[in-house]
Chains A and B, each alone.
Chain A
Amino acid sequence: MSSDDLDETITRTYHEQWARVVAGLARRFGDLDLAEESTAEAFATAVARWPDEGVPPNPGAWLTVTANRRAIDRIRRETKRDDKQKQAQQMYDVPPEPTGPIEDDQLRLIFTCCHPALSVEARVALTLRLVGGLTVPEIARAFLIQEPALGQRITRAKSKIRAARVPYRVPSADDLPGRLASVRTVLYLIFNEGYLATGPDTDPVRRELTTEAIRLTRLVRELMPDDGEVAGLLALMLLSGARHAARVSATGELVPLHEQDRGSWDAAVIGEGRSIVRARLATGIPPGRYQILAAINAVHTDAADARDTDWSQIVALYDQLLRIDPSPIVALNRAVAVAELDGPEVALSLVDRLDPSLGRYHAYHVTRAELLRRLGHSQESRAAYDTAIGLVGNSAETAYLSRRRAQLGVRPPTD
């Protein structure tokens, strides 16, 4: 095996096995810290040994055995220090309890990391570390946090899990809907931070985060294949992520949907997203938020040219979304679609009646700026661009909006 092949095998094994090994250890030893550190050690051992000894026939089993040994070594060391040998003896002499399907371990891990008693930031960090296997420096970079602060956030979350006894199990049927909603929120936050970074000091689009979010959502979907909203979330991520190559121009500006080169969208990924949307529609079960958002994105990808977009269907989908999620942000997005269907004047009157709390949200001002521009109100449009630029964090979006604002000076030909 060449060293490139070996690297690839190790990376693939890491992605495929990390969560499984951590989850198994967490169940066996009831300690997330121990599970994480022992798994990390097992992978480090693999990296050190596999080049000489070759990749074992069953890498997953090898990693599990190695990580278990590491965990037991750690317990021995710590208990010697604490002089609680007996307690440890009991712990590792007990044969592993009969287990359900391995998938249950991973689900337990995901639900624990996304427990509502933890802050949302902690849920995101813990999920990326324990389920995703990202390192602390990787997560810190992704969220523009100092490494020590992020490390502390993860440590604090783990000690809360231990001290407050957050149970390590899949929630009961009663609790499942709410708990699964928290899991989906965490996954979507990870995706969105990659899809459109909120801070200015980073790449505007970070595929490592969108890719990781998609990978984790696929995992949750495999584990909970009957949940329509998990399927919807995956479809939404695939359909949005497929536009990646077209979203930022060579000059580093964000490219709006209608100006994107649709030929550079990833057709295979779009195909997968659309087939999930179709399969969900075929169930006849009323769709939730993510399924509707996925359907909206599917309509966009139906059009080979932006001008062929079926806006009436998009407005209808937003109407449906508003019924289950009557938030001002949904209403704002609906107004953008209405502008295409009924013209900017109708849309602007909708936007101006929206909840004033939207004033803190840059997309509100972007929408107003674009509508005012189309209505020929350059002065007001410029003011709205100014406000939007003041609020926006993403560097590619700032670049795009600044150019749009500058174009207002010379009267745009057709807009």
Chain B
Amino acid sequence: MQYLVSVIDDNNTRANDDEMAAVAAFNQRLRADGHWVFAGGLAAPESATVIDNRADAAVFSDGPFIETKEYLAGLWIIEAADLDEALKLGAEASKHCNRKLEVRPFVEL
């Protein structure tokens, strides 16, 4: 089963070298243990562009779709047997990237 692990940030600073190194090592382990699906860090929310092409023409607008103090700073997608395993991995990930996380299951098809 796959889980989205969202990295939540509120201070607009990039990960420092220690955090980057810890996350890289953690990602190696995720790969080795078969939990890895995807991971990546995101640029600042101000770099976002919102698109709405539900009507006649695509409308592009600047900025995140919702202004919040806390925002999505990066994400993992992990493979885990169940929520307990996902929470255990998430707890490690939070330690390594030094940020708060949210773990959320994908809908199973």
A and B together in one complex: yes
Contacting pair A165 B1 (CB below 8 A) = yes
Can you name 18 extra interface pairs (CB under 8 A) apart from A164-B86, A164-B104, A167-B81?
A115-B83, A117-B83, A117-B87, A163-B107, A164-B3, A164-B83, A164-B103, A164-B105, A165-B1, A165-B82, A165-B83, A165-B105, A166-B82, A166-B83, A166-B84, A167-B82, A167-B83, A167-B84
A167 to B87, CA, bound (A): 12
Interface flag for A175 (CB, 8 Å): yes
Chain B contacts of A163 at CB under 8 A?
105, 107
* Interface of B toward A, CB cutoff 8 Å: 1, 3, 81-84, 86-87, 103-105, 107
Chain A contacts of B105 at CB under 8 A?
163-165
Nearest chain A CB to B78 CB, angstrom units: 13
Interface flag for A60 (CB, 8 Å): no
A188 to B86, CA, bound (A): 28
A166 to B82, CA, bound (A): 6
Contacting pair B84 A175 (CB below 8 A) = yes
A-B contact pairs, 17 of them (CB 8 A): A115-B83, A117-B83, A163-B107, A164-B83, A164-B86, A164-B104, A164-B105, A165-B1, A165-B82, A165-B83, A166-B82, A166-B84, A167-B81, A167-B82, A167-B83, A167-B84, A175-B84
Interface residues on chain A, size class: under 10
Interface of A is mostly: loop
Which one of B1, B3, B84, B86 has the greatest number of beta carbons of chain A within 10 Å? B84
Q: Closest B residue to A171 by CB, please name it.
A: B84
Nearest chain A CB to B105 CB, angstrom units: 4
Nearest chain A CB to B5 CB, angstrom units: 13
Chain B contacts of A115 at CB under 8 A?
83
The B-contacting residues of A in range 128-187, CB under 8 angstroms, are: 163-167, 171, 175
A176 to B63, CA, bound (A): 45
Q: Closest A residue to B85 by CB, please name it.
A: A167
